[in-house]
Structure 1
Amino acid sequence: MVLIFINSSAQDSQNVKEISHSVYFTANTGLDDCLSSKLILQQINEASQNDQEASVVIVGNITPKGGYPPKKKARKETEEFLKERLMNPLEGFNGNIIYNPGVNEWNKEGHQNIDDMESFLQDNSEAEFWPNDGCPIEGEDLNDDVRLTMVDSQWFLEEWDKHPYINDKCEIKTREQFFIELKDELKDEQGKTIIVSIHHPVMSNTRHGFINKIAGFTEQSYQNPLRKELRDRLETLSRQFEDVIFVSGNDRNMQYIKDNNTPQIISGAMGKLQRSKPEGDKDFASKKPGFAKLNVYKDGSSVVEFYESAASGPQLLHSQYIKRERISEDEVSYHSKEDFESTYKASVYTEEEVNKSYPYKKMWGEHYRDIYGRQIEVPVLFLDTLPGNPIAINEGGGRQSRTLRLLDDNENEFSLREIRKSALRFIQANIQGHYIHDYMENTVAERIVQDFYTTAHPYAPFAVNDIMEDLDLYHANPKLYYVPKQKNIGIYNEDYGDKLYMLEEHVGDHNKEFEDFGNADGILSTSDLLLELRETKNIYVHEPTYIRARLADMLIGDWDRHQDQWRWAEFKENDSVKIYKPIPRDRDQAFSKYDGFMVRLLKFGFPEMRAFQTFESDIADVKWFNKAAYPLDKAFIRDATWPEWKEQVEFIQKNLNDEKIEAAFAALPEDTRDESIENIKKALKARRDNLEDIANRYYEFLVRYDVVTGTEEDDSFIITRKPNGVTQIKVEGGDGSEFRRSYSSSETKEIWVYGLEGEDDFKIEGKGNDLIKLKIVGGKNNDTYNFDNSRKTKTYDYKSKKNSFEKTGSKMLTDNYNINNYDPEKRNNSTNVFFPSIGFDPDAGFKMGVKNTYTTYGLARNPFTAKHSLSLNYFFATDGFSAEYTGEFAHIFPNWNLGLEAKYTSPNYTLNYFGTGNDSFYDEDQVDMDFNRVRIQQVSFTPSLIRENNRGSSFYLKGILESMEVAYNENEFVGQSFDENSELFEQQLYGGAEVYYRYFNQDNPSFPSRGMDFSLTTGYKASIDEHNNKFGYLKPSLGINYPLHSSGIATLATKVGGEMIFGDNYEFYHGATLGGNHSLRAYRNERFNGKAAFFHSTDIRVGLSKIRTNYIPLRFGLSAGYDYGRVWSEEPESDDWHNNYGGSFFINGFNALTANFGYYLGDDGNRFMFSLGFNF
């Protein structure tokens, strides 16, 4: 037993507790120039001698700047540094020594040098280096109570295109996969204290300079967009689980922060120390050199201690008690068996939840709502009455379900899933940047999602296991029970129990010997199977069974078949060959009913909803219905052609007759067998009879595009072009495998061929005709290309590595990671989104229109392959009309997109003109708004080259071709200012070019408290007809958002901008203007027109209150604003500056959308404005 004193501010009194494990943390030993690192590490070493069980974690920057050199000759100095400053001071440490990579370890060669350094450290000490191989995450148990999850944050922040071999040895290939893996890690390790060691902190109170505080130019900046994404996602994930502690070392100080119950420890106080300031009541910050020690106790609580490393010994600066979040078993209550009969009547929803008005039902549909509110009688289950006495060991569940994992005395696992799904889980899964539970609970948004779940029949899926049995498919055996709160649920009684549940065998390796899982040799997840297929030879998916399982999905209407809905039974045929058969699971979406006109309407704007199709005799759209499973179909169905699909259709039709369908549903509880079940049975029989047509339509869609992959070994690809549109692909794998398939252009339009690892050989022979388009991606190492026929073929490979191009055609050599990396989730698809639009502007009046966007996603994306948008708008105040087309095409050159824009406006389309110069006159009491409107017809075409990145920068180079024609009207200002015969009223054609750069970074675009928006536009236009106009122009702009309070509740927003015209030959519609929502907000659009313009706008914005409404969480606020500006021209004019003042009332909904209502007063009068969001 170890006695410690717990600070009374954190704990009521002194406590005697047993320490489970002690962990020391420090970082930045490679940045230390004054040998303080040796002293700190020596003191850690000495302190550990008194610990029962300990570890030390160096959280990054263990090497000097430049990292571990790539060349062996240059490594001697760095290796001596590591021995002297790092390894020798820790020699004899009483426990585990663990190194975590930081910034310095990722030099030019990055992960390759990390791998070499890892070998050096482990060869010369007892230390571990995690994560290894330059991968992003690795978790290890320090003991039964403490889990250490190591994260390489620099991996996430690196520009992957600069590391051609990044992720070579990693299972995780994308940033999104990293978040999925981390979430699984946190979920699987619940019940332990989880220490997430990550170099860059998720929260920090380190003081930064002005530019670093608002701009975030580099990935090391705290406000960098990519780093902010990492912080937001990690904090959101941690709040979904309990007892997660972040420990970091990037900041060169010591801190303790607790925000929303998530503790953050920073211990990097070495080298040139950084100032920090505690913000919360219990926060801590110190600039003194030292280290942190975290004592984790047996009861799950912890104490973190911060020590200054003084010459006389470590001095305690601060200690903080961290309470265990999960309750203990002593704090929960539960029922006994005597409280219940053998059966119990219960419903999924309350009567109040299902009682909807007639208009609501018409809008959102009837669904199966009445069944959710119906009381049904089911058996009562106490877990200790089951064989093996299963107990709850962990929480599980996915995007919607709430599940307990059970373990019995025989080490078999079961899942206890609540029939009622969680709306909050679904919302959280779709809003990944911030935690929503505290804001969305008990709101209309939650209730709408909860009601939407009634589209799925709550009990019909219990008939599916009998259907799967008839179809000879592996399956679990779900049973419906009422499960009271009880002893075997343990600490989970707080959130589980006293509801309807489904109990079934967990589909996992613990239960591999279950007969209904095939008595397999093992059970794998889909991600593990995909990795096996890529890295291991002689691994095969049993295609006939998988096709039958997929046809069963279509048969029962289960569209939600993403990769986590599958497990795979492994069968070893001999010492080298493994066959995998599918085990489908989670049939929640079978037999769904999506009625109500809102669902149909939302499908126009949200393509993801097009998978939602009511269970009927047919599937209206097989493409969208199968969207979730489509990537798996491409990965696992390699050889099968239509005859194999048809064979499985016939198997299903033969083995699932009407009697078996009736028998399957007869097993449901009597209370559930109503008219809805009769309708389902009728539709199921009809769909079974129609299955061949459904399967054929999906097969035709599936083979329209295909993917062929090699292995990690040296492979030979022989592609033969044959007559009649036939293309044969033969792959002789370096592992001894062989793949051969012929494709017809009447079925298949495009094939992607991935070489993956190894030195691969690609050959194309034969002439053929009506050729299929080929995209060949060589992958890593030196590949050889020899194409006798390169028509309709494009090759992609790395620019920075050696390849042999003997004969080839079109190719793109680029180090773009997303192009060269094989991602099973990547698929060739397209979406079409249609949205109506409505808007208001005091000058243009009400605007109504539509916008249609068609986007394609092929192999080369940035971030799409092509996007086409068409907008049509009508302006009621002027009867004007506009049509705009915007197109963008990815990688016209590597990382450069081609943009195309075209615009047409009717002759009634307007802009404003009040005269030229700073003193132009306008009196709204003397003239109406039409007087200063100018009717102008515009036609333009602008091609461009576009380059953007995910770090806030965008750039384009644009060519310009435009036609401008002003209409003459003697009753308007323009007609009285210019002669009727002026060239102004003639059609004028212009040509020109424009260059644009923008850096945009805001912490929250809907209500920014920190950020920068800088843009610079310069260009030149000249007449290309008989007119003689020519001029250049420059438009700079800078907007800054700066917090006046650390919470972000009060913000200073300011923007300066202007325009300069170079040359005297230009028309007023090309002049530099001020006025409107984006400059002088009290003045009409284009109120002032000159040769140069300048403005400065400033707001002080204060969020007055944040409240939880019955609908969504809202923040109300006020802003006070002031603008000033002027124009310069050749006209005689004063030096007056025009100004206005005013303010706005804004409503921010859930940090996602802001409605801003403003009112501003100036010399011309006052003006109301409305905008979605803030204009700066």
Structure 2
Amino acid sequence: MSHKYTTTLNLFFSKFSVFTFLLFILAQTSFAQNKEVEQVFYFTGNTELKTSNPTQQVLKSISELSQNDDKATFVALGNITKDGYPPKKKDRKKVEELLQQSIMQPLANFNGNIIFMPGRNEWNKNGHENIDDMESFIQDNSKVKFWPNDGCPRELDDLDTENIEFLMIDSQWFLEDWDNHLYLNNKCDIKTRDDFIAKFKDDLKDEQNKTVVVAVYHSVLSLSRQNFLEAIGGVSAQDFYSTQRQKYAGTLETLASQFPDVIFVSASDKNLQYVFDDGIPQIISGAATDKLDNVRKAKDGQFASKSNGFARLTVYKDRSSKVEFFTTDAGSPEKLFEKKIRRQQPKQGEISYPDISAMGSTTKASIYTKEETDKSSLYKFFWGNHYRDVYSKEIEAPVLDLSTLPGNVHAISEGGGNQSRSLRLIDDEKHEYTARELRKSAVRFIQSKITDHYVRDFMQNTIAEEIVQDFYTTAQPYAPFALNPIFDSLDIYNAQPKIYYLPKQKQLGIFNEDYGDKLYMLEAHAGDENQSFERFGDADDIISTKDLLAEIQDSKKHKVDESNFLKVRLMDFAVGDYDRHYDQWRWSAYEQEDGTTTYKTIRRDRDQAFPKYDGLILSLLKVAMIDFRSMEKYDEDVNNVKWLSRYAYPLDQAIIKNLTWEDWEEQVEFIQQKLTDETIEVAFKTLPEATQDESMASIQENLKTRRDNLKSIARRYYDYLMSHQIILGTEDKDDFLITRQPNGKTTIKLTTEEGESFERTYDKELTKEIWIYGMDDEDTFKIVGDGDHYIPLKILGGENNDVYDFENTRAAKAYDYKSKKNTFVNSGSRKWLVDSYDINTYNDASRKLDAFSTLPVLGYNQDTGFSAGLSGTYTTYGLANNPFLTQQTLMAKYYAATHGVELKYSGEFANAFYNWNFGLDARYTTPNYAINYFGTGNHTDYDRDQVDLDFNRVRISQWSVKPSLIYRNDRVSLRLGPTVESLNVEYSGDGVTGDTNIIDAGDDVFNTQYYAGAEAAFQYKNKSGEIAFIRRGFQFDLVAGYKTNIDEYNNEFTYLKPTLSIDYPLHPSGMAVLATKIGASMNFGDEYEFYHAATLGGNNSLRGFRNERFNGQTSFYQSTDLRVGIAQLKTNFIPLRLGVSAGFDYGRVWVDNDNSEQWHNSYGGSVFINGFKAITANVGYYRSKESDRVLFTLGFKF
């Protein structure tokens, strides 16, 4: 082919390619122009009251561009002010003038909505109150909206659109130290961070059919550069990698990753960014300031620029969206970057679906396949039999053709359960239904337990998924449907679920791809749209549990039918259902003629009825972990009412207030009369014929027996529930009259401002403690009467000036804020005034259950050999936890190499003084317990070929007691206290103790010696995940102490032990980490025995040497690792990260008259495997000139 021809051909194709490209661009432009815009957002942040450029140029440019928009919203994402809104009115005038001048005037011509949000700067002292005041000023003097309102954490608004929800979050609220803000959350429905997280998830679930734009000051993803201190975790909660901020960011990102169309917009980074991770787009627009943050290089379609400017987000009617970034550095806005975030969503007519008209009225199907339930005898021994065979048994189920139901029932969204895969259905009358697949989702459950990073996609087709999927077979899948007629006979409102085979079909629309062709449960949704349904009692309204608790707290005119609720709860015990948390209930409301409202119970879900928890592993887990103790095998009786009611207990406490034991007996008798043998048998006959097996017959017999035993079960729970009582006032003024009576009785009468009253007498034989919360407004607490055998009372005033009139001060203590006015009539009243949010704020889930747990303690190393033991911990909780009321641990451990036994006790008792706990540690070892000794000095002889391991073991019997005062917060801990100890070294005549060149036979060390002293231990820790692969963090420890003999010997010395460890990420992902630990130990004074010397060797210093290899007056070492994650593996077990490390240690000891200049070193490496980003197994091999050592650890030692 000629060169000329080739050139002509190339030119032709080049022109054709350009022409094609131009057509594509024109088509895209035409497509964008034809798309109907739903909303245009303009975002910026960090204006900080600045009246000069570049801030003014950013705002001016936004205002000008908005003139071309029909539907626009401007959002100032935080840091509107520089130092917050002043608390004193006299200081506010200048700030108000600057607000008008710096931001409100430049935006006066903005063509659309204007929204201001708080950032970090707005949270000064009592920031929530100042934010509330600033909100009032701004909204009273402009068209600007200030959200979230009242210093609360969230606000949701649709901005008058059909397909957008704008969710505004005050992230500084989450990061703040709440003890610094008096009456925080007093105007908010959300009172705790856990409540906020739950509400955030509910918002995303409820609005999953819309584009949810989440505006929040602190970013959840970032490409900003961090300095050294910030990269290892920082010292402030504001730092991106701080523990607090990572918890906030990780939780929000993980929840958002589970929903289809969520966009984050933030401004904490003073630059412009577009970041994308785990399906989550993050827009950062905080560049309306003259001090910009550096950025890293953006890759893979991301964007980052250290430029002044703003972001524009356009959302179209078809729910597609795009983001554009503009810089104003040159004066006028110049586009830097554009990215399509979400494409147009498919429409109903574009979805293909099968024709089901030819299907019969019934079909056979099973929940699991035979292969999934075919397990060996050994597997069943460890994991249990469960109801596994039932899950793979085919049943004859009716086919559900939604088009045949009245009202055009069709799917509108996915459900958001932690385990179930479900669809929300709706008909033309707006009645809603739920279709829930009987096969639960293991990956959903696993994701619900891992809240700070997204794992769902990595968990599919793994052994972890298989184990959870198999664990679901502990629940009987069909027996709970027999409860429909049983609940009806007892007049218990419920959704009356039915079993169907739901094929893929037209009515499922866009959900056909992921749903259908399985066994499903169909039930009416328990919501206000179905309040007229007879199954829900034809109510005036249906509300959630959270709304119910708010109503009954707000006014005593809102009352729960306690007898009705108790009846339902007794049936929970009868059917063995432990999973009765707040969301498992709804409440039918009935307005009464006297102006009150009565609520009756709607029981939701019954998945955990009649469970079969068996197998060795589950039995062991119940002993070790309290999370498994609620899981009782369904048999003739309830073994432990406390654990079976664990999740329902807070609600029982809040609702069952007035019922006596006679009322309980009445409900028991009602159930026993109505729930006849015939009723049970008829109910179970309604189940599919294929399910009528031996296990179903056993369930029926156990249900009959539990019915007969119900009075005994009820009495046990009545006693447990009455042992601790919580009484709540209202949000208005309340008067509490407490009368102490003879024989341990106490009468409490509450009279509200509305004249409503509550009165009950408690008996100390039954009730061991009562907490009384006044809640909001000014409350009065009066204690009268002499009485005897007093029930302890804890009285919490809450907000405003509360009056404590304790004529009888015995066994009564007042709790309130220190920073507010309180009135104590009797100066002898016991009180604790402290600005603690957790103590002074009522939280319906604040009372945790006391628990005892037992764990095995296993280990191995070259010096001690195999070791095994048990550790038991008993933890109690009360009102003022720090972080518990008491915690006591007893550990016993046996060492096979020496036959030594070690016993340890550790106890901690909260709030001996405010924020200071009392601690007590004790330790005892038997005479066979051993440590190593090779002689004193930096250069001591050891030849492993000449002597065995036992030669250098010194058997030592010892005991010690260390009482202390302990202070701790999130990062800092301090322990101060005296020490007492006894040590006795055994003289064996052989080994190191028989070597007179090392120890003289007549040395005092072979006599029992007693020491007393004092010790202080300080720790600053900014790292988490002790058994994880720590990607960043640092920790500093300093121990200082003094010891002296308290017998005839003359040993006396002081000591100092500083340690610093740093984990520095060499890559932003954290998968390459340089970790180092520097430590030293110094004894001041020459009079100390070798067992008190500074030592080196073993896991915590020179890893290639034996434990305590070097012994001296002073020691120093540094250990350094380079740890690199080399692969992320999606295995059949769990998602794993495989990594390797290379390590090097060096160190030495010093003693008087030792002229050694030698530094000892060891080197080696390890292979580690990290699962779930939570636990790391690490196997290492380290060498020194003397020995080789293989080490196994969970996590890393530094």
User: Secondary structure at 2:55's aligned position in 1?
Assistant: helix
Q: Report deviation, 1:1002.
A: 2.9
**Equivalent pair of 1:1073/1:1087 in contact (CA under 8 Å):** yes
Contact conserved, 1:164 with 1:800, CA < 8 A, in 2? yes
1:843 aligns with 2:863: yes
Q: 2:447 aligns with which of 428, 447, 459?
A: 428
The whole-number CA distance in structure 1 between the counterparts of 2:659 and 2:376 is 50
| Structure 2 partner of 1:825 | 845
Alpha carbons 1:257, 1:280 under 8 Å: kept: no
> Residue deviations 1:357-381, cap 9 Å, x none?
1111222222211111111111111
Shift of 1:1140: 1.4
For residues 1096-1129 of structure 1, the C-alpha deviation after alignment (integer angstroms, 9 at most, x for no partner) is: 1111111121212211122222111111111111
Offset, 1:446: 0.9
Note the C-alpha offset of 1:11: 11
Pairing 1:123-202 to 2, within 5 Å after superposition: 123-142=140-159, 143-202=161-220
Q: Do structure 1's residue 1137 and structure 2's residue 1156 form an aligned pair?
A: no
Distance of 2:808 and 2:700 partners within structure 1? 54
SS of the residue corresponding to residue 662 of structure 1 reads helix
Equivalent residue for 2:237?
219
Whole-angstrom distance in 1 between the partners of 2:703 and 2:111: 66
Alpha-carbon distance in structure 2 between the residues aligned to 1:8 and 1:837: 69
The question of whether the paired residues in 2 share the 8 Å contact of 1:1076 and 1:1084 is answered with: yes
* Structure-2 separation of matches of 1:329 and 1:945: 67
What SS does the corresponding residue of 2:48 show, helix, strand or coil?
helix
Which residue in the other structure is 1:1127 paired with?
1149
The answer to whether the 8 A contact 2:288-2:310 is kept is no
Partners of 1:394 and 1:406 within 8 A in 2:
yes
Q: Deviations over 1:110-131 (max 9, x none)?
A: 1000000000111011111111
Alignment of 1:664-683 (within 5 A): 664-683=683-702
Farther off after superposition, 708-717 or 68-77? 708-717
Tell me the secondary structure at the aligned position of residue 936 of structure 1: strand
Aligned CA distance change for structure 1 residues 447 and 882 (closer, same or farther; 3 Å): same
Deviation at 1:958, TM superposition (A): 2.8
Counterpart Cα distance in 1 of 2:346 and 2:791: 62
1:701-1100 map, 5 Å: 701-807=720-826, 808-827=828-847, 829-950=849-970, 952-976=971-995, 977-1002=998-1023, 1005=1026, 1006-1100=1028-1122
Change (3 A) 1:13 1:1052: farther
Does the CA-based 8 Å contact 2:738-2:746 persist in structure 1? yes
Q: Which moved more, 1:338-347 or 1:1077-1086?
A: 338-347
- Is the Cα–Cα contact under 8 Å of residues 563 and 667 in structure 2 kept in the other structure? yes
- Secondary structure of 1:1097's counterpart equals strand
Distance 2:338 2:26 in 1: 10
Deviation of the 1:325 alpha carbon: 9.1
Higher alpha-carbon deviation: 319-328 or 690-699:
319-328
Aligned to 1:619: 638
Matches within 5 A, 1:288-687: 288-310=307-329, 312-324=331-343, 328-329=347-348, 332-574=351-593, 576-687=595-706
Does structure 2 retain, via aligned residues, the 8 Å contact 1:7–1:319? no
Q: Are 2:58 and 2:310, in contact at CA under 8 Å, matched by a contact in 1?
A: yes
SS at match of 1:29: coil
Cα separation, partners in 2 of 1:307 and 1:70, compared to 1, 3 Å:
same
CA gap 1:547/1:14 in 2 versus in 1, 3 angstroms: closer
Could you report, residue by residue, the CA deviation over 1:822-881 in whole angstroms, capped at 9, with x for unpaired residues? 011122521110111210121111100001111111111111111111000000001110
Name the aligned partner's letter for residue 704 of structure 2. Answer: K
Matched to 1:526, the amino acid is T
- Output the CA distance in 2 between the equivalents of 1:329 and 1:996: 66
Letter in 1 for 2:958: Q
CA contact (8 A) 1:944 1:956 kept: yes
User: Number of residue pairs matched?
Assistant: 1171
Structure 2 counterpart of 1:20: 38
1:870 and 1:10 map into 2 onto residues whose CA distance is 70
Structure 1's unaligned 5+ residue stretches are none
Shift in alpha-carbon separation, 1:897–1:5, aligned structure 2, 3 A: farther
Give the Å deviation of 1:15. 7.6
Indicate the residue corresponding to 1:87 in structure 2: 104
Q: Is the partner of 1:321 in helix, strand or coil?
A: strand
Report if aligned partners of 1:216, 1:225 keep a CA contact under 8 Å in 2: no
The gaps in structure 2 that reach 5 residues or longer are: 1-21
**Partner residue in 1 for 2:11:** none
Question: In 2 relative to 1, CA 243–762 (structure 1 residues): closer, same or farther, beyond 3 Å?
Answer: same
Amino acid across the alignment from 1:797: D
Is residue 730–residue 739 contact of structure 1 (8 Å, CA) maintained in 2? yes
Shift of 1:677: 2.0
Other structure's SS at 1:219 match = coil
Q: Equivalent residue of 1:90, what SS? A: coil
Between the aligned partners of 1:9 and 1:913, the Cα distance in structure 2 is 82
Q: Distance in 1 between matches of 2:226 and 2:23?
A: 35
Q: Distance in 1 between matches of 2:928 and 2:848?
A: 43
Deviates more, 1:69-78 or 1:997-1006: 997-1006
Cα offset, 1:82, TM superposition:
0.6
Does the C-alpha gap of structure 1 residues 111 and 14 become closer, same or farther in structure 2, counting only changes over 3 Å?
closer
Equivalent in the alignment of 2:1178 = 1156
Taking structure 2 as the reference length, the TM-score comes to 0.96
Cα pair 2:205 2:416 within 8 Å, conserved? no
Sequence identity of aligned pairs in percent? Answer: 53
Deviates more, 1:70-79 or 1:888-897: 888-897
Whether the 8 Å CA contact 2:49–2:102 is kept in 1: the answer is: no
Give 2:1000's aligned amino acid.
D
Name 2:88's counterpart in structure 1: 71
- Does the C-alpha gap of structure 1 residues 1156 and 135 become closer, same or farther in structure 2, counting only changes over 3 Å? same
Structure 1 residues 215, 975: CA separation in 2 closer, same or farther (over 3 Å shift)? farther
Counterparts in 2 of 1:715 and 1:1165: CA distance versus 1, 3 Å: same
Q: CA deviation at 1:312?
A: 4.2
Partners of 2:1048 and 2:358 in 1: how far apart? 96
CA RMSD of aligned residues (A): 1.8
TM-score, with length taken from structure 1: 0.98
Cα displacement string for residues 710-763 of structure 1 (whole angstroms, at most 9, x for unaligned residues) = 111111111111111111111112232211111111111111111111111111
Counterpart AA for 1:927: V
In structure 2, the partner of 1:244 is 262
Deviations 1:764-789 (A, max 9, x none): 12222222121111211111112222
Mapped to 2, the partners of 1:101 and 1:809 lie a distance apart of 42
Q: Secondary structure at the match of 2:651?
A: helix
Asked if 2 retains the 8 angstrom alpha-carbon contact of 1:243 and 1:324, the reply is: no
Q: Distance in 2 between matches of 1:939 and 1:898?
A: 20
Give SS of 1:1169's match: strand
Q: In 2, distance between residues paired with 1:465 and 1:98?
A: 50
Hey, what's the Cα distance between the residues in 2 that align with 1:1104 and 1:998? 33
What secondary structure sits across from 1:1022 in the alignment? strand
- Residue number in structure 2 paired with 1:100: 117
Q: CA deviation at 1:491?
A: 1.4
Per the TM alignment, residue 954 of structure 1 is displaced from its structure 2 partner at its CA by: 2.0
CA 279–970 in structure 1, closer or farther in 2 if over 3 Å, else same = farther
Q: Which moved more, 1:1018-1027 or 1:836-845?
A: 1018-1027
Alignment check: 8 A CA contact 1:1071 1:1089 kept = yes
Q: 1: CA distance between counterparts of 2:24 and 2:1154?
A: 78
Report the Cα distance in structure 2 between the residues aligned to 1:776 and 1:51, rounded to whole angstroms: 58
Q: Is the 8 A contact 1:11 1:321 kept in 2?
A: no
